[in-house]
Chains A and B, each alone.
Chain A
Amino acid sequence: MKLTLRVWRQKNADADGTMSTYEVDGISPDMSFLEMLDVLNEQLILGGEDPVAFDHDCREGICGACSLVINGDAHGPERTTTCQLHMRSFKDGDTIDIEPWRAAAFPVVKDLVVDRSAFDRIIQAGGYITAPTGSAPEAHATPVPKPDADFAFEHAECIGCGACVAACPNGAAMLFTSAKINHLNVLPQGAPERETRVLDMVAQMDAEGFGGCTLTGECATACPKGIPLMSITSMNKEWLRATRKVAKR
C-alpha cells in the first residue's frame, strides 16, 4: 500500500505547529498503525530528518500510552486503541490526517505527544481506597454481589488514554473521572470515602481546565474500552447524593 500522511509537527510545547505531508510506500495491511509510523520514522531518520514523536508502549491496547487522532477520530476508525488499529482498515492511496489529542488540559509536548498528567492529578484527588498495606481484612470477609463486582470491573477497565477528552467537543474529562468514581463507589470497600471521592475528583477535574459535559456522547463512542455514556449519569447521581449528604453534616 502507498499512503499520503499529513502529520502534525510541533517542535516543542512553545512552538507553533503545522501539518506536514509525507509519503510512505510498501505498507502491508497486516501492519499496525504504529508499525506504519515506524516505517515513516526509519525513512525520516535515514533522510536526516527528525522522526515523528508519538507516545506508545505496550502495543497491546492496555497501557493507554498511544494517542493519535486519525482522520478526525480519536484512535482512528475502529473502536480500539491506535496500536491495535491495523492498516487493513485503510485503502491503497489514502490520505491520512494524524493529529495529537487536542484539549487545553492536554498541552502538546512535541509532535503527537501530549501531557496527560492532569489525569494523574484527578486520581490523586480521590481515585483510590485508603487501605494502607497490611491493614486489610481477610478477602472473603466482605462478599461483593456479582452484579456490583461486574459493574466495578466494567468501569475499572479504563486505560486512561484520554480519547474521551480528545473526542469531546468541550474537552471534558467526565467519562474518565466517572469511570474511576463508579468503579470505587459501588464497592463496599469504597463506601467510607464515597462522598469525598466524587466531590474532590470532580473539583480537581474542573481545576485542570477540562470542559463541561453536554452529553454529546462522543466520548463513549471513542472509548476503546467501551466505558458507557451512562457512566457519567451515575457519577452525576453520586455527586448530587454527596452534595446533599455533605450539606447535612
Chain B
Amino acid sequence: MTSYLDYTTGEPVADTKAPAGPINERWDKRRFEAKLVNPANRRKQTVIVVGTGLAGGSAGATLAEQGYHVVQFCYQDSPRRAHSIAAQGGINAAKNYRNDGDSIHRLFYDTVKGGDFRSRESNVHRLAQISVEIIDQCVAQGVPFAREYGGLLDTRSFGGVQVSRTFYARGQTGQQLLLGAYQALSRQIAAGNIEMHPRTEMLDLIVVDGRARGIVARDLITGQIDTYYADAVVLASGGYGNVFYLSTNAMNSNATAVWRAHRRGAYFANPCFTQIHPTCIPRTGDHQSKLTLMSESLRNDGRIWVPKAKGDTRPPNQIPEDERDYYLERIYPSFGNLVPRDIASRAAKNVCDEGRGVGPGGQGVYLDFADAIQRMGRRKVEEKYGNLFDMYERITAENPYEVPMRIYPAVHYTMGGLWVDYDLQTTIPGLFAVGEANFSDHGANRLGASALMQGLADGYFVLPATINDYLARHPHQEPVTDDHPVVQEVLAETGDRLNLLLSVDGDRTPDSFHRELGELMWEFCGMARTETGLRKALERIPQIREEFWRRIKVPGTGEELNQSLEKANRIVDYLELAELMCLDALHRSESCGGHFREESQTPDGEAARRDDEFGYAAAWEFTGTGEAPTLHKEDLVFEYVHPTQRSYA
C-alpha cells in the first residue's frame, strides 16, 4: 500500500462557467446565458437543501418562491437555530452610504487582497456586486439593523478595511439576518412549497449516473434512516471547524454532509485554510467544550496590549502605561488594532510564545476599553457593545468596564470547502454547495463581516439564478427508487457504519477521541504549521482512527434519539478530513492568509506567499480511506488585482 502522503497530481480543474469579458459584466452575462425553467415546470422539479443557516435558509426560501418543490433538512430542532445565528459583528455591503470612498470595486479589491490572493476574481467581484442587494432584501424583510437618529442605516468599520461598510444589529447581526431568512423560509413552509425536516441529519449522498439525485438521512428522534430524491442537491451545511474539537462552531456543527459528498466524488478545495479568530475568550481548563467568540467589532474601540516584561503577573490596572506594549499599534501603525484576523491572531500567539501572555496559563492578551470609555463615555460604549460585555462577564465573572478583557485566538471559520465553479456547482453534476460549505470567495483568509455577506449572496441571489441552468438542462430525469442498486449500496454502507459504531462496545467515549484529535490538530495544523509537525500529525491520525474503531463505546441503540451515536458518526468523518487538512497544509509549503508555514516567512515574520508555485486552489479527489488522494489544481488568474505582498503596516 502506498503512503497517504504520496498523493498524485491529476488533471487541472477549471471553472468553465464564468464568462470572459470585463469583470463587472460577467454576472449579468452569466445570468443572461443561463437557461431558464418555465415557471409551470418548476413545481415538477425537486431540490434538496441541506442546512438552514444563512445560505441554506435563503436558498430554500428563494427556490420555493420561484416555484420549485424544496425538501429541506436541518439537524437542529428548528431551522431557526443554525449556527449563522451566532455571528455577531455585521455584514459588509458596498453601499457607500458614508461617502467615504467605498465602491463595489473596493470591496472586491479588499476581499481579494484580504484573502491573500487565493480566491477567484470572478466570484469575489460578483459577491461585491450582490452585497448591495442583500441589504435591501434584508431591510424589506424587517431585519432591525442599527439606525441613526435620522432613521437611516448606521454602519461601522470592521477588521482589515478602512471604510465604514459594515451594517449591524447591535452584536447580533447573524441572529437577525438568520431570523429574516428563517421567516422567509417559514412563509414558504406554510405555503406548502417547502417540506421541512428538522432533527434530520444527512448521512450520505446518492449519485446516480454521475449526477447527484438524493440523500440518505437519519431521523434523529426515531433513528429511522430514509432516502430522499431530487433533481438537484444543495449542501449548505457550513464549515468543518469542529475538527479542532474546540472552536467557536456550535457543538453539533459537523462535516458529515460535505465529507460524504467528497467521498462520493466532489473535490474538496483548500482544506487547510482555517481562520483563527483573534478575539475569543481564553479557555479556563480541560473541561472546556467550546470557545466563545467576542465580535471583532470590539477591536474598533478596544486596544490590544500585553506587558512589556515577560512573566509580569501584576493585575492589568497596576501596569503603568509605559510598561505596556500595544503591539498591533506598534507593528502596524496604519491599521493598528484593525489588521486582518490572521495577522492579529498570529501576533497574539507570538507575544504569548515570548512569555508575555496574560491570565491563567499565559494564553491571553488584553483588550482594553479604558480609553474608549474615557473618550465616548460608558453609556456610548454600553450602547455599542453592551451585550458583548455582558456575555464576557457571564463567562469569566470579570467586569470589562473595569478590568480589560482577556482574549485569545480560536478556530472560527474554514475558508476551504467543496470545490465549486462560478455556478456554485461541485464536481458532481447536480450537487451544489453554498455558504461556508464551499471554498469559493475568501481565499486563504476571510475578512470580518464577509461570511454573512457570502452566505446570503449565495442563497438569495447566486444559486437561484445558476441552479436554473442545471435544472433546465436536465428537465426529465429518470426517477430513482429505493431498489436502485446504487441506493441499496449507499443504504447498506450507512447502516453498517452505524451498526459497527454501536457494536464495538469499547472503553473510550466519542468525546475523548474528538478531544484527542482536536488537540493534535490545534498543535500541528493550527496557527503556525511546520513540516515536521504536519508529518507527525499525519502519522498519528491513522493510529487514532484505528484505535477509534477498536475502542469506541456508543451506548444505546440506533432506533432512538442517541446523541452519542450522532457524535461518534461525525468523528468518523473528522478523522478522515483531518488527514486531508494536514496533507493540504503539508503540500502547500508557502504561507498565505490563515495558513502560516513557519518555513515560509519574511524577515520580519510575516506570511511569505510563493505565487509562482502555489498560485492555485488545491482541489482534492478522494480515492479511499487512508489512501493517497489526487490533487487537481485550479490556476488562479489575477487580471484586476495584482498580487502583492499584503502590507498592513
Contacts and interface: CB of A to CB of B under 8 A. Distances in A.
Interface of A: 11-12, 28, 30-32, 34-35, 38-39, 42, 44-46, 48-51, 53, 55-65, 78, 80, 84, 86, 88, 109-110, 113, 115-117, 119-120, 123-125, 127-140, 142-146, 149, 152-153, 156-157, 159-160, 183-184, 187, 189-190
A12 B560 CA distance: 8
B86 A63 contact: yes
Contacts, number: 218
Interface in B134-157: 135-137, 139-142, 144-153
A127 B78 CA distance: 15
Nearest to A187: B142
Nearest to A140: B152
B187 interface: yes
A42 B555 CA distance: 11
Contacts of A156: 144, 169, 176, 179
A113 B189 CA distance: 24
B397 A88 contact: yes
B77 A116 contact: yes
A38 B563 CA distance: 12
B555 A50 contact: yes
14 contacts: A12-B560, A31-B287, A59-B289, A62-B172, A65-B81, A86-B394, A110-B221, A120-B198, A123-B183, A124-B189, A133-B65, A146-B149, A152-B142, A153-B170
B461 interface: yes
A137 B136 CA distance: 6
Interface of B: 58, 61-62, 65, 76-83, 85-86, 95, 97, 133, 135-137, 139-142, 144-153, 169-170, 172, 175-176, 179, 182-184, 186-187, 189-190, 198, 221, 248, 250-253, 284-285, 287-290, 292-293, 391, 394-395, 397, 460-461, 464, 507, 509, 511-512, 553, 555-556, 560-561, 563-564
Contacts of A183: 142, 144
B140 A49 contact: no
A59 B251 contact: yes
A117 B144 contact: no
A149 B142 CA distance: 10
A80 B292 CA distance: 15
B190 A124 contact: yes
A21 to B, nearest CB: 19
B260 to A, nearest CB: 21
A239 B140 CA distance: 23
Contacts of A31: 285, 287
Given A49-B555, A156-B176, A189-B141, A125 B190 contact: yes
A129 B144 CA distance: 12
Contact of B391 (A61, A115, A119, A139): A61
Contacts of B95: 139
A56 B76 CA distance: 9
Contacts of B182: 123
Nearest to B286: A28
A124 to B, nearest CB: 4
B86 A123 contact: no
Contacts of B140: 129, 131, 135-137, 189
A136 B148 contact: no
A123 B186 contact: yes
B279 to A, nearest CB: 14
A113 B561 contact: yes
